[in-house]
Amino acid sequence: EDPRIVVVVIVEQGGFGAGSAAPITRKILEAAFNINQAPVEAAKVHKPQTAL
């Protein structure tokens, strides 16, 4: 196997992982995979005017 990303989050006195370490891990992975970034707006299409 050839892992590209390894994440370890330790939160001292953090309680359960789902409540403390998981949200931190999520933010790290979102940044690593460019998830939830600002959406790219599509270019506006202008229809050419037709002669009457």
- Band of the pLDDT at 13, cuts 50, 70, 90? confident
- CA dist 4 and 42 (Å) reads 31
pLDDT at 17 over 80: no
The predicted model scores a pTM of: 0.58
**Through-space distance between the first and last CA atoms of the chain, rounded to whole angstroms:** 65
What is the arithmetic mean of pLDDT over 11-34?
88
Residue pair 5/28 in contact (Cβ under 8 Å)? The answer is: no
Amino acid 40: pLDDT: 63
Is the separation of the CB atoms in 19 and 9 below 8 Å?
A: no
